[in-house]
């Protein structure tokens, strides 16, 4: 496996306004970065049964390439690409472990260049670049541990979405020319508040039915506050990340450049999900009543 994903609970912090807390990785979230270059500091530390570890932390406020940070549509840049079996979204915190030699080379190169950012693209198989999607998410390394065997443990935070324009090379790792992807102004922008309320209503139904079935949601206790914590675009991306289980659907939502369309699609998905959960709850209730009648 190229990168081993370390499980981290999903974050609800607003991608454009929260901070990093080392003692609580789940509270990490994406900051907009100023145009400064990343500052990395290296220290030696013992870890994993006293094995020497090289510890480096990147300033999350300065780890975006200047070219990528600019949101002008005509600007492009070349970045390393990591193929991953999950869809990564802006603001998402994830921990990765480099295993394959090509990604160890990539991390050495990024550290030398002081460019602690790369792109992650969903692929059904991590070693199959021919099946990778054309839209991915930049991630910024906010902490990395380098072991003596050249493996890296990375804590990353999702940044801007991007669209792949061209694969420049595939060896030793994929390099692609990309363009930052942002939502365009939608004719339905005046209706975004109403769409958010509809999606939030479906979220409440999903949460209620999940509780009834004892299916624990990661963020069920905060589902009602999502629309208050995020802008329409950010809200739609958080919903796609936390409440959409199908990865193909997640990838489709990530690639949309229209907030209204994304909210409409999410509303339909959550409505179908509510109907599915309601059907299961009804069947369970029916069997429960049947069991009670048999005992009587």
Distance CA 35, CA 267 (A): 37
In this structure, are strands 93-98 and 77-84 parallel, antiparallel, or unpaired? Answer: unpaired
> What is the C-alpha separation between 189 and 199, in angstroms, rounded?
15
Same domain? 218 vs 123: no
| pLDDT-derived band at 217, boundaries 50, 70, 90 | low
| pLDDT given at position 26 | 35
Rounded distance between C-alpha atoms, residue 146 and residue 96, angstroms = 12
Judgement on whether residues 208 and 252 belong to the same structural domain of the protein:
yes
Last residue of a domain, one of 181, 202, 222: 181
Cis bond upstream, residue 60 (ω within 30): no
Q: Choose the most confident range, by mean pLDDT, from 14-23, 32-41, 49-58, 254-263.
A: 254-263
For residue 230, the enclosing domain spans 189-295
Q: Which of 72-86, 207-221, 263-277 has the highest mean pLDDT?
A: 263-277
Mean of the per-residue pLDDT values for the chain? 75
Calculate helix-pair angle for 192-212, 259-295, nearest 10 degrees.
20
Q: Would the pLDDT of 70 be above 90?
A: no
Cα gap 257→46, rounded to integer Å:
45
Rounded mean pLDDT of 254-277?
94
Percent of the chain, pLDDT > 70?
Answer: 65
Residues 6+ apart with CB under 8 A from 137: 88, 89, 90, 92, 119, 120, 158, 159, 160, 161, 162, 254
**Number of domains into which the chain is organized:** 2
Judgement on whether residues 129 and 252 belong to the same structural domain of the protein: no
**pLDDT, tens only, 142-199:** 998 887 788 899 999 999 999 999 999 999 999 999 999 999 887 767 789 899 999 9
- Is there a single domain that holds both residue 36 and residue 160? yes
Residues 89 and 227 in one domain: no
Q: Select from 154, 181, 208 the last residue of a domain.
A: 181
pTM value > 0.85: no
């Amino acid at each position: 496996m190229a990168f081993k994903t370390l499980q981290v609970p999903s974050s609800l912090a607003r991608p454009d306004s929260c901070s990093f807390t080392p003692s609580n990785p789940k509270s990490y979230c994406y900051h907009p970065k100023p145009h400064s270059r990343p500052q990395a500091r290296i220290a030696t530390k013992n870890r994993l049964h006293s094995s020497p570890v090289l510890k480096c932390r990147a300033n999350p406020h300065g780890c975006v390439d200047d070219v990528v940070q600019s949101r002008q549509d005509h600007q492009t840049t070349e970045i390393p690409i990591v193929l991953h079996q999950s869809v990564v979204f802006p603001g998402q915190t994830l921990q990765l472990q480099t295993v394959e030699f090509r990604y160890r080379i990539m991390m050495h190169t990024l550290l030398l260049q002081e460019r602690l950012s790369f792109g992650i693209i969903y692929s059904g198989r991590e070693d199959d670049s021919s099946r990778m999607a054309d839209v991915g998410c930049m991630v910024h390394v906010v902490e990395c541990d380098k072991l003596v065997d050249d493996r890296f443990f990375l804590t990353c935070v999702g940044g801007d979405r991007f669209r792949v324009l061209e694969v420049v090379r595939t060896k030793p790792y994929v390099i692609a020319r990309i363009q930052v992807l942002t939502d365009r102004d939608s004719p339905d922008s005046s209706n975004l508040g109403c769409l958010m309320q509809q999606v939030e209503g479906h979220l409440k139904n999903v949460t209620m039915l999940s509780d009834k079935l004892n299916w624990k949601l990661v963020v069920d206790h905060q589902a009602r506050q999502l629309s208050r914590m995020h802008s329409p675009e950010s809200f739609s991306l958080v919903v796609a990340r936390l409440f959409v289980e199908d990865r193909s659907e997640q990838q489709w939502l990530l690639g949309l450049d229209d907030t209204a369309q994304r909210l409409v699609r999410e509303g339909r998905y959550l409505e179908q999900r509510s109907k599915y959960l309601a059907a299961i709850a009804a069947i369970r209730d029916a069997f429960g009543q049947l069991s009670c009648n048999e005992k009587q």
